[in-house]
Amino acid sequence: MRRRGWICFGLWFAVAGGFGGCGSTNAGRGEGEYCDQTSDCQAGLECRSHVCQKPAAECRPPCGENEMCVDGVCKPIQPVRDQDGDGVGSDRDCDDLDPLTHPADEAQGIPAGYEYCEGRDNDCDGSTDEDCPPCAEDAVQDCGTDVGECTPGVQRCRGGVWEACSGQGPVAEVPDEKDNDCDGATDEGMPCTAGQTRACGGTVGVCTAGVQECQDGLFSECRSGVNPGTEKCNGLDDDCDGITDDGFMTGQTCDGRGECGAGVIECAADFGLRCSTEPGGSRDQSRPERCNGRDDDCDGETDEDFRIGQPCLGTGMCGNGVWECGGEEAARCSTDPGGSRDQSQAERCDGLDNDCDGSTDEDFFVGATCDGLGECGAGTIECASTATTRCSTEPGGSADQAQAELCDGLDNDCDGESDDGFGIGGGCDGVGECGVGVIECASASATRCSTDAGGTQDQSQAEQCNGRDDDCDGSTDNGDDQALCQPLPDHVVRATCARPAGACQVANPLSDCQGGWWDFNGVWADGCEVRLDNGAEVGNTCAAAAALDTLSDAAAGSQITVSGNLVPAGDEDWYRVLGFDDIASDESVDQCDNYHFKVRFGQKPAGVVFDVSLDSCTEMGCRQEICYDFRTNFRDVSGSTPLGECGCRMSNTAGYNICAQTHHTYYIRVYRQPGYAVTADPYTLTISNGNISGGVTCP
């Protein structure tokens, strides 16, 4: 493998990032060392005659150009020159006429010359063309220069190495008015007479003629013209030897640095050399540097853009590590995800970058706007735990808007469910007689079965007295009895609900019935089914006896039929009727009284009888009768005294009764004899006066 080095004025040199240019590398040289300018010397020294020395002013008188002040005394100096401009003085350069040949000066940062494989010891290490690939046997190449006393020649390959150049090379300058060192100047540095001058230089290449002056007994360097310089790889004959870019071996094969393959040596833009496959070369094979352990950009460094091996601090919660390749395009800290000491963890919602990707809580969208669940409004996403998030307006959030859950179809507590805790939608059996439904809201704080009263499937009915909870309020037969027993059956004015049996009834068969009616059988459905006779028509006492129309015996007579019933037990009916004897139209006309007052049953329930009293309630003349009559419309003379008034005379007449006007008020009491069952069967009673009775008497 060839050694890599710098080229300065035709020498290769290595700098970070690729080929670099040349400059002074002699700063800080000590006393007596070669210099180009005072800045090359250490502090307190100055550069005179290319030698770092103490200021001439320290000697009195001041030292001349080729003298140096040593301990206050001017002493002659042996000039140290750098004729080839390679930064190494003639005191140490093994060939001060070849800028490509010099030893390394590590203190001054000057690398050894590059071994050019042309038969010379370019790096002044005592070995020629070491590490060079063998040349082709008997191959020939040009070499040398024609400046001054030098002549160009050729080199031939023998045994895989180049032999010495066959031409005349430069030698040390001697006072023979020749350019022995082939630098374009004659006898420079040789003794001369003060004021003596002579022409120098030439017009080969870039050189132009100049003048040498005698200074301190020595000819100076060629001045005013352009002297031969260091040959640069630039397409010019800089060293004025008649050969352009000689010494750079352009066209020879080379192996590019890094991943750049085999090519040929060619000039670089900075006057240096490069292999044609290297960056900027005519066959550039370099690529952008990748992190892959190879020198992709062919600058002599591997992965240099990626700081490999340098300390680093991992991203986020990943700690200290070192840079390493994380793929060909980028480096990563070894503690970052995928690194050799990966410290990343699953991202948690905790305000930290746990997975070391440069983002905090990125999987949780923290800070993004959100609309809270249910009735909780707009907020921002925030961590609820290390694994979950919530909207800031949700329960427990920084702007918590949650309220106690109400039964209103809304998600008041913002837990994602509406009316949770109330069992809404679940199956239910309605209260009482209300059937199967679903649970729904009855108010903000209460529920009901949908079939209950007020529900969406309301099956409640008006409460009735039936032993059931018809209105589905949780109570059976509750409410006003009168309302529970609607509609009331005939003639019932007040109802009573018998609990717990759940049956309507007439509690008081008299007072709970419409006036004049009686609930005899206790059957609710037919109500107060018995018509009472205790109104204006029928009295229940003698004093309150019902007054009937007067019954007159005039003409054909008169008759009336009354009816009633004897309920409840112990009931009795009283009637009062005037039996009128109309004498004016009766006896006075035909001397025959028609008076015949008769009481008889038409319809008679078992055990029902009546009593009759004349003109008074105190004494009942006839008792337990079923037929009664009182008459004067007959004549009976079988006895000693005539009976009856038909005929009769208006005045006393023997054998006749006087036609008297016989008026009587009859009190009739209808009742049930003891021992007979009480029934509501009606009775009818026919009461008559006059001939309507047909003369038929009671049996």
* 256 contacts 283 by C-beta, under 8 angstroms: no
Out of 171-180, 294-303, 351-360, least confident range: 171-180
The residue extents of the domains of the chain are: 1-131, 134-244, 259-300, 546-693
Mean residue pLDDT of the chain comes to 83
- List Cα–Cα distances, 88 to 24, 44, 113, 203, in angstroms: 11, 22, 11, 28
* 188 contacts 221 by C-beta, under 8 angstroms: yes
pLDDT, tens digit (0-9, with 9 covering 90-100), for 612-633:
999 888 776 788 888 998 888 8
> Domain 546-693 classified CATH 2.60.120?
yes
**577 pLDDT band (50/70/90 cuts)?**
very high
pLDDT, tens digit (0-9, with 9 covering 90-100), for 466-490:
999 999 999 999 999 999 999 999 9
Beta strands in 78-139 (DSSP E): none
Cis peptide preceding 152, ω within 30 of 0: no
**134 pLDDT band (50/70/90 cuts)?**
low
Pairing of strands 551-552, 573-580: parallel
pLDDT, tens digit (0-9, with 9 covering 90-100), for 299-338:
989 988 889 999 999 999 999 999 999 888 889 999 999 9
pLDDT, tens digit (0-9, with 9 covering 90-100), for 78-115:
556 666 666 677 767 777 766 667 776 665 556 666 56
Separation between Cα atoms, residue 455 and residue 623, nearest integer Å: 70
At residue 557, the pLDDT reads 87
Provide mean pLDDT across the span 527-537: 74
Say if residue 3's pLDDT is above 60: no
Say if residue 431's pLDDT is above 90: yes
Beta strands in 206-319 (DSSP E): 210-215, 218-219, 253-255, 262-267, 273-275, 311-313
Provide mean pLDDT across the span 548-564: 90
pLDDT, tens digit (0-9, with 9 covering 90-100), for 276-294:
999 999 999 999 999 999 9
- Which H helix or E strand runs over 588? helix 587-590
User: What is the pTM for the complete model shown?
Assistant: 0.41
- List Cα–Cα distances, 529 to 23, 484, 503, 509, 570, in angstroms: 142, 21, 18, 10, 19
* 200 contacts 185 by C-beta, under 8 angstroms: yes
Say if residue 15's pLDDT is above 70: no
Provide mean pLDDT across the span 551-572: 88
Separation between Cα atoms, residue 522 and residue 505, nearest integer Å: 7
Say if residue 58's pLDDT is above 70: no
Closest CA to 688 of 590, 588, 549: 549
